[in-house]
Structure formats: C-alpha cells, structure tokens
Amino acid sequence: MKIRGKVLIIDGKKVAFSLLEDLKLKIDKLDKKPGLAVILANDDYSSKVYVASKEKHSIALGLKSCVYRFDKSITQGKLISLIHELNENPEINGILVQLPLYSHLCEREILEVISPKKDVDGFHPVNVGKLYAGLNPYAVCCTPKGIVKLLKAYKIKLEGKNVVVIGRSNIVGKPVAALLTNENATVTLAHSKTKNLKEHTKKADIIVSATGHPKLIKADMVKKGAVVIDVGISRQLDGRLIGDVDFEKVKDIASYITPVPGGVGPMTIACLMENTYELYLLQNKG
C-alpha cells in the first residue's frame, strides 16, 4: 500500500511471479502444451542469456520449448524455410526471433515471414498496425505490455495523465507510447534529437525511460510525485546492471519508481509466456 509522501518501489518480480502463477494454473488445465519456438542466430552474450532464460521459464510453466541455435553459416534462405515450417507446425503457437541477428541476415524480412498469429513478440507489421489502430493485435510487444500491466497492478491511473516516453525504438518506445495513448494518456515521445528533454520530463506525471543511457534521468528532471518507469539496462564494468534513472536521487522525488534490476525486466518474460498461452487459445478456439 502507498503511504502518502513516501516513494513506493514497484516490485516487478512480485507482479511477474503472480502473473506466472496464474498462467501455470491455466496451462495445467489444457489438453495440449502450448509451444514456443525461439531462434537464436547471433553470437551475442546477452542474447544467449536471454534465450536461456526464456527456455527455463517455458519449461517451468509446462510449455513445449524448442530453441534453434545457429552459427554464422546460417543463411537467410534456411532461416526463412525454418520459419515457414514453424508457421505450419500445429505444435508451435509462438515464434520468437531473438534480435539482433548476425549482420549478414535481414532482420525485417525474417520478422515479416512469421505468421502474425504466431508472432509472439508482436513485431510483425500486422500486429504493429493493429496496435496503432487501437485494434486488438494478436500479440502485443512484451516489454510495453509488461509496463502497462505493472502500472495497472499498482493502480496508477493513466487516463488524462501527461506521459513522457524517452526512446523511440520499435520494440519499446514507440509501442509503449501507442499502448499508453490507447489508455487515454497524453503521450510525448522523446528521443536523442529532442531539444531540452528536461522541459518535457518536468511536466510529466509519468516518465518511461527506454534509452540504455545510464543515469540520463536526474532528480532535477522529475516533477515531485511523478511515477518513474526505468526500462534501460546497462552493464557496469563491475558487472552490475543499472538503468536510465539516477535511482538513489530520483526516488526521493518520485511517488513510484521501478528498480533495475527487478522492475520492468521480469514483466517482459512473464508477458512472453502469457502471449504464448494467448496465441495457443487463438489457434485452438473451437
């Protein structure tokens, strides 16, 4: 419960855990296991860690997990054929291509081959279009979906609020701005070319920062009582992860704030699991 005048640290792990617990109960009741296919075609250390975590969570939930790991000899054509096969495979309900891909592969073409009804990450233009049109996408991008769920779990009102989203990527900034607009917030989308960011953030009731720029959001940029959602993840030289927000100072001004780690991150994976379950229902409705 929020105590007046005191910051509340948003516990993403707790909200994600409860979402996963609910999901496990629902999955246990199904006749068949929902299937998630994950394609890893790059050598990046973080991507390997993310894919291992997706595999671990899928197995723990009772999903069928298929991970395809490729070395640099993989061709665009072979990857596209695999996706066509997965599109036709009734055991697979969600297909995820871990980004980035090896530099010789064309990301955009590969993502567009995934059937929109199996596009568990919500990156296909059909799902992006549905999101912007305020229609129901088959799946909504996991991190933006997780952010809105987190805000709702803490009963933070969105309607009529001034929100500043910082970062305009296709996987976080733009879709979270669209989702919050659909929730009737007044959204400003800022980015690296925005002039005088502080002028915008100072007016925000809610700040969502997704840049990967450590400590970009300083205390003097935040209005007293604002809600601060930190999506950024940067690894320090000592191995620690930090966000975009100068947490120690901003927490004395904000009403709610997410930590890094333990804020938005756990929601991303929980929403991926939920999307797989929802796509299963969509593909198996009678």
Measure the CA–CA gap between 120 and 127, rounded to whole angstroms.
10
76 included as an active-site residue: no
283 included as an active-site residue: no
Q: 3-class SS at 63? A: coil
Nearer to ligand NAD, 86 or 139 (CB): 139
238 included as an active-site residue: no
Chain residue whose CB lies nearest ligand NAD: 212
Q: Minimal distance in Å, beta carbon 204 to ligand NAD?
A: 14
Measure the CA–CA gap between 212 and 243, rounded to whole angstroms.
7
Q: Minimal distance in Å, beta carbon 97 to ligand NAD?
A: 15
On whether the CB atoms of residues 246 and 281 are closer than 8 A, the answer is no
For residue 168, give every residue at least 6 positions away whose Cβ sits within 8 Å of its Cβ, in sequence order, or none. 174, 177, 189, 190, 191
Q: Which burial class, exposed, middle or buried, applies to 29 when counting CB atoms under 10 A from its CB (0-12, 13-18, 19+)?
A: exposed
Nearer to ligand NAD, 137 or 167 (CB): 167
Nearer to ligand NAD, 94 or 173 (CB): 173
Nearer to ligand NAD, 86 or 204 (CB): 204
Q: Minimal distance in Å, beta carbon 263 to ligand NAD?
A: 7
* Two structure tokens written together for 78: 């072979």
Q: Minimal distance in Å, beta carbon 270 to ligand NAD?
A: 10
Residues found near ligand NAD in the complex (CB under 6 A): 143, 166-169, 171-173, 190-192, 194, 197, 210-213, 216, 231-234, 264-265, 268
CA dihedral of residues 47, 52, 54, 56 (deg, nearest 10): -170
Question: Which of these is catalytic: 117, 118, 119, 121?
Answer: 121
On whether the CB atoms of residues 163 and 136 are closer than 8 A, the answer is no
Supply the residues annotated as catalytic.
54, 98, 121
